[in-house]
Structure 1
Amino acid sequence: MFPAPNVFHRAPLPSAPRESEPRHQGTMTTTAAPPATVANKPPATSSAKRRDAYFDNVKYLAIVLVAVAHSWEPVMDGSRTARALYMVAYTFHMPAFIIISGYFSRSFDMSAAKVKRLVTGVAVPYVVFETAYSLFKRYADDSPDHPISLIDPWYLTWFLVALFIWRITTPLWQSLRYPLPVALVIAVFASFSPTIGDDLDLQRVLQFLPFFVLGLRLRPEHFEMVRRREVRMLALPLLAGALVFAYWAASRMQLGWFYRSNSAQEMGAPWWSGAVMTLAMFGCALLLTIGFLSWVPRRPMWFTVLGAGTICGYLLHGFLIKGAEYAGLFDTYDWLSAPGGLALVSLVAAGAVTLMCTPPVRRVLRPVTEPEMDWAFRRDAARR
Structure 2
Amino acid sequence: MTRENTLETRGETFFLNLRFMLIVTVFVGNAIEPLISRMDGMHSLYLWIFSFHMPLFVLVTGYFARKSLTGSAGRKVLLQIAMQYLIFQSLYSALDVSLFHVSNIHHSFFAPYLLLWFLASHACWRLLMLGMGKWSRAAQITFAVAAGVAVGYLQLDGVWFSISRTFVYLPFFVIGYHFSFSTFAKWVQRYVKIAAAAFSVLIFALLAVLGSGFPMGWLYGSMTYMQLGAGEWYAGLYRLAVYALQITASLAFLGWVPYQVSRMTDWGRRTLYVFLLHGFIVRLAAISGVYAYIGNAAGTALLLLCAILSTVLLAQPGVKRLLHPIVEPSVDWMITLQRTALRRTP
Q: Deviations over 1:321-374 (max 9, x none)?
A: 11111222213x1xx132222211111111111100111111222112223332
User: Which of residues 51, 70, 73 is equivalent to 2:33?
Assistant: 73
1:134: which partner in 2?
Answer: 93
Residue 170, structure 1, aligned to residue 146, structure 2: no
User: Which of residues 269, 276, 289 is equivalent to 1:328?
Assistant: 289
Q: Contact 2:148/2:171 (CA < 8 Å) preserved in 1? A: yes
2-structure distance, mates of 1:356, 1:369: 12
2-structure distance, mates of 1:107, 1:375: 23
Aligned 1:64-143 pairs, distance under 5 A = 64-120=24-80, 122-142=81-101
Residue 377, structure 1, aligned to residue 338, structure 2: no
User: Which of residues 120, 127, 135 is equivalent to 1:161?
Assistant: 120
Q: RMSD of the alignment, in Å?
A: 2.7
2:155: which partner in 1?
Answer: 194
Residue 360, structure 1, aligned to residue 318, structure 2: yes
1-structure distance, mates of 2:251, 2:305: 25
Residue 304 (structure 1) shift: 1.8
Q: Contact 1:108/1:171 (CA < 8 Å) preserved in 2? A: no
How high is the sequence identity, in percent, across the aligned residues? 27
2:191: which partner in 1?
Answer: 230
TM-score (norm 2): 0.89
Q: How many residues align?
A: 337
TM-score (norm 1): 0.80
Q: Relative to structure 1, is the Cα distance of residues 228 and 218 closer, same or farther in structure 2, using a 3 angstrom cutoff?
A: same
Q: Relative to structure 1, is the Cα distance of residues 296 and 372 closer, same or farther in structure 2, using a 3 angstrom cutoff?
A: same
User: Which of residues 218, 223, 236 is equivalent to 1:257?
Assistant: 218
User: Which of residues 199, 207, 216 is equivalent to 1:246?
Assistant: 207
1-structure distance, mates of 2:282, 2:318: 21
Q: Relative to structure 1, is the Cα distance of residues 241 and 143 closer, same or farther in structure 2, using a 3 angstrom cutoff?
A: closer
Q: Contact 1:88/1:242 (CA < 8 Å) preserved in 2? A: yes
Q: Contact 1:62/1:97 (CA < 8 Å) preserved in 2? A: yes
1-structure distance, mates of 2:69, 2:281: 37
1-structure distance, mates of 2:146, 2:105: 35
Residue 380 (structure 1) shift: 9.2
**Which structure would you say has the larger Rg?**
1
User: Which of residues 6, 16, 27 is equivalent to 1:56?
Assistant: 16
5+ residue gaps, structure 2, are 341-346
1-structure distance, mates of 2:43, 2:92: 26
2-structure distance, mates of 1:321, 1:373: 29
Give secondary structure in 2 for the equivalent of 1:74: helix
5+ residue gaps, structure 1, are 1-24, 29-45
